[in-house]
Amino acid sequence: MGRRGLRTAFAAAALALAATWANADTPLTITWLVMEMPPHFSYPEHRPPKEPADLGQHGEIDGLQRLLIAQMPATVEHRFTEAGLARFESMARQGEAVCSMFHVRTPERLQWLHFTHLLPPMDSRDVHVVVRLNALPRFTESGQTLQLSELLRRKELTGLLPRERSYGRRIDGLLQAAGDAAPKTVNVGHNMHVLPMLRAGRMDYTLEYPSVLAEYLRTNPDGPPLTALPLVEGHSTNLATAACSRSPAGRQAIEAIDAAVRSLARSPRRDALIREWRGTMSDADRQRLNDYMNERARNGPQIE
């Protein structure tokens, strides 16, 4: 896209953003779900954000949320509510105008949430099996990359997962098909992982992103060491998404988020903003992200 074409597209995006709320009776308010899940979403002052300025700058979720809010008109009000997945679902189903960047798109969630996509599949979101280091030989004896389908058949191993969490269509399908043989789930409140329980010996394994494990070990250095093993089925194939309740206000909010993604994709400062946000990333992830943003810049709304 040439410089003149980029300026034209950016101006069109700005007009689209303004038109989204031009006929609104009241100013748009977006209430965002927040959960401490470092390094994806961190509380810089060890407390939930109260305004956009409180958001972290470099996490995959909080940093992107900050970027998208900056693309929206100043008339949009942003509020933040700390809740677990179960409470968020209850709020959304009751018609409250709430939005989340933590929710993976699933067919069941489409019944009560609107979705738009934000990022392409990236290596940073590959799901791994996390185990205690002293139990590693039980998982590596075959010398092959672990397959979740085989792991679920090993009755001598016990897994535990956060309740209501989705790991994408492929892994969710395997867990559902396993029935009673699937790992048990537990309510984790405002958190998204069960790593302290794994350290305490409550189970033999869980599923998590390596970056989440690395941050947990960095901030909690005491205790049995944990390690992550790649899964054959764990390679990221999911678009990162934003979701808002299926209500009139939720629809207005998801339209605003989608418009902000397209505005960022068309921004002349896009590359600089992404570098400030993500810093270093693999060449493969950088190319995927660039291709994705180019596609978003060319196309219209992507809302379900």
Model confidence over 92-145: pLDDT tens digits?
Answer: 998 888 999 999 898 999 999 999 999 998 887 889 999 999 999 999 888 888
Distance from C-alpha of 125 to C-alpha of 107, rounded to nearest angstrom: 20
**Average pLDDT of every residue of the chain:** 87
Alpha helices in 21-129 (DSSP H): 62-71, 85-93
DSSP designation for 54? G
Question: Over 80: is that where the pLDDT of 232 sits?
Answer: yes
Contact between 17 and 261 (Cβ < 8 Å): no
Question: Over 90: is that where the pLDDT of 249 sits?
Answer: yes
Query: Do 44 and 145 belong to one domain?
Result: no
Q: With respect to residue 304, please indicate whether it lies within any of the assigned structural domains.
A: no
Domain of residue 263 covers 3-122+238-298
Query: Do 253 and 284 belong to one domain?
Result: yes
Number of CB atoms found within 10 A of residue 204's CB: 20
Q: With respect to residue 29, please indicate whether it lies within any of the assigned structural domains.
A: yes
Q: Which amino acid is at 206?
A: T
Query: Do 146 and 118 belong to one domain?
Result: no
pLDDT of residue 57: 86
Question: Cα angle at 164 between 163 and 169, to 5 degrees?
Answer: 120
pLDDT of residue 25: 58
How far, rounded to the nearest angstrom, does the alpha carbon of residue 161 sit from its chain's CA centroid?
Answer: 17
Q: Compute the average pLDDT of residues 222-236.
A: 90
Report which of 303, 290, 292, 277 is spatially closest to residue 40, judged by C-alpha positions. Answer: 277
Query: Do 264 and 226 belong to one domain?
Result: no
Q: What percent of the chain has pLDDT over 90?
A: 61
Last residue of a domain, one of 234, 258, 280: 234
3-class DSSP assignment, residue 115: strand
Report which of 33, 35, 139 is spatially closest to residue 96, judged by C-alpha positions. Answer: 33
Last residue of a domain, one of 193, 211, 234: 234
Last residue of a domain, one of 183, 209, 234: 234
Q: Which amino acid is at 63?
A: G
Report which of 78, 77, 126, 73 is spatially closest to residue 101, judged by C-alpha positions. Answer: 78
Model confidence over 2-52: pLDDT tens digits?
Answer: 444 444 444 444 444 444 444 445 789 999 999 988 888 888 878 899 999
Helix axes 248-266, 62-71, angle to 10 degrees: 90
Contact between 31 and 81 (Cβ < 8 Å): yes
Size of the chain, expressed as the number of residues it contains: 304
Query: Do 19 and 115 belong to one domain?
Result: yes
Q: With respect to residue 85, please indicate whether it lies within any of the assigned structural domains.
A: yes
Query: Do 115 and 244 belong to one domain?
Result: yes
SS3 content of the chain, % helix, strand, coil (to 5): 45, 20, 40
Query: Do 146 and 293 belong to one domain?
Result: no
Model confidence over 159-192: pLDDT tens digits?
Answer: 999 988 888 888 999 999 999 999 999 987 766 7
Query: Do 228 and 292 belong to one domain?
Result: no
Query: Do 13 and 102 belong to one domain?
Result: yes
Beta bridge partners of 129: 207, 229
Query: Do 108 and 141 belong to one domain?
Result: no
Q: How would you label 222-256 residue by residue, b for 16+ Cβ within 10 Å and e otherwise?
A: eeeebbbbebebbebebbbbbbbbbbebbebbbbb
Write down the pTM of the prediction: 0.77
CATH number of residue 286's parent domain: 3.40.190.10
Model confidence over 56-99: pLDDT tens digits?
Answer: 888 889 999 999 999 999 999 999 999 888 889 999 998 888 99
Distance from C-alpha of 92 to C-alpha of 99, rounded to nearest angstrom: 8
3-class DSSP assignment, residue 192: coil
